[in-house]
Structure 1
């Protein structure tokens, strides 16, 4: 099969284009080639490290390529390739001949029955899911069921979130609940095959995106994840945690790259309407707040008790006292939102399910 040819990118392409191609072909790894001659591989980790090192999204990928990579020769037997991939947890292994022509790419799921992500990379890390909101932007369905139980295919969005962490070893979940919480409790009480525990913390009134975290004071003694219940992020959680700890962050916010195209020419003018700059259909990139965070446990002491409090306020407080807040970037396609109907339908279709027409 020649599916691997979709992964080819030229070294003069920029980082933004590489991220867009990864999203398009749903791969975290690309082959960098010149006229089909193999040059290197480019992973989402390479891009994330480049962004964190302050590379522009307009920088050529040739400037961020690794010098040492692992590839297979067309003379290697299948067992050698298998062992190499298993040892280094390689998602896709390029096979190159003596003249550096790419002749094949062997993917993990071709030779292994287990998913690549099925390894305990996050054992014993608590995950807090903020599941108490009313989901007003998803009415009228949320008049009947709570937002966390809105289905994506054959299971609710909350279960998608839990499963994405459970697959990498997380067994300890904390849910802050309020609106229609009995339905959430009942749903998971009737899932007998689950191999994880859920602890519920009830807020007696809406407390914002972080106010209910005060309920966990004294309960969490280690670094933990916090996520909204209306987003899915398909990325390497262990890399997020590694970045958070290695940089000594108190809080790390996951940020998705968002690309906007203005379909019109724009005008910039000064005093008396004198035209100063004309841009034809400009494009802009922003790093948006994706709704997932990593926090150190001492921050729970800074959450006011039983008060409406947003996590952005906590971030501002940390920065005001010169604490360290970090940003971990993910691609636009790795971040999926179900917080409003148009985004819900996009996410459903991306996961292979029909949307909902209201």
Structure 2
């Protein structure tokens, strides 16, 4: 396995109109969950996965993010910033990182909380293979997300919020592995309206291959105001379970 450094690009330029009025004066990734900004949970997962260089793609109310995270020293990582002045889609957001990314990298959404384990797995694929990869997980209501169709461990199609009945509960988990060749692929993507990274991936899946990384760990999405209740309950409950775990002494101990 290669030990080439991998950068994490976190998409954090979103305004989050569906979270108004909480986002009237802050970007969506800075909405608090479990007493900390949503984005901080994402940064911590990346740091815990052993990725120590982060590029934050910022835009709306970006000063709130820059002031909170600074250079990343408080999280033992190096944080750099690139700007997406206008929100033109996730593919366009990834393109903004091109000037500062010249090696393998992972991409995460700044509004979805995942475990460090999936970041590590996707990071390893980024190191070892120039072909793109994406994490997939399951959802109770898959039509609310990007539904993923597989053939073995290969992605054949990504349907964004499809209408009607879907035959799978697999969805896009929003963690990707890329090499710099993806930047040209994004520019060559045929898109109408916003340029989504999933459009690029769907176009390339049939010609160059797109590996699916199955994931059944923590996946917390904040898209609507009511999601905050669910995510807060999950994180606070997790914290309470950790805090109330009975301390014990294992094995033979001599005092």
TM-score normalised according to structure 2 size: 0.72
Structural mapping, 1:32-47, within 5 Å: none
Q: What is the aligned partner in structure 2 of residue 239 from structure 1?
A: 121
Q: What is the aligned partner in structure 2 of residue 317 from structure 1?
A: 203
**Aligned partners of 2:120 and 2:27: how far apart in 1?**
30
Structure 1 portions without partners, runs of 5+: 1-120, 261-283, 354-358
Residue of structure 1 aligned with 2:230, choices 346, 349, 356: 346
**Aligned partners of 2:123 and 2:71: how far apart in 1?**
32
Residue 313 of structure 1, CA deviation: 1.3
Structure 2 portions without partners, runs of 5+: 142-166, 238-255
Q: Does 1:330 align with 2:215?
A: yes
Going from structure 1 to structure 2, the CA distance change for 1:122 and 1:231 (only over 3 Å counts) comes to: farther
Residue 190 of structure 1, CA deviation: 8.9
Q: Which one has a bigger Cα radius of gyration?
A: 1
SS of equivalent to 2:137? strand
Q: Deviations over 1:127-185 (max 9, x none)?
A: 00111111011111011211111112232111110111112322111011110011111
**Aligned partners of 1:295 and 1:199: how far apart in 2?**
18
Q: Is the 8 Å Cα contact of residues 214 and 301 (structure 1) preserved in structure 2?
A: no
Residue of structure 2 aligned with 1:202, choices 67, 72, 83: 83
**Aligned partners of 2:71 and 2:52: how far apart in 1?**
17
Residue of structure 2 aligned with 1:174, choices 38, 55, 62: 55
SS of equivalent to 2:236? coil
**Aligned partners of 1:221 and 1:190: how far apart in 2?**
20
Residue 242 of structure 1, CA deviation: 3.8
Q: Is the 8 Å Cα contact of residues 134 and 179 (structure 1) preserved in structure 2?
A: yes
Residue 235 of structure 1, CA deviation: 5.2
Going from structure 1 to structure 2, the CA distance change for 1:182 and 1:244 (only over 3 Å counts) comes to: closer
Q: What is the aligned partner in structure 1 of residue 158 from structure 2?
A: none
Higher relative contact order (CA 8 A, sep 6+): 2
Residue 301 of structure 1, CA deviation: 2.0
**Aligned partners of 1:135 and 1:174: how far apart in 2?**
20
Q: Say what the alpha-carbon RMSD is for the aligned residues.
A: 2.9
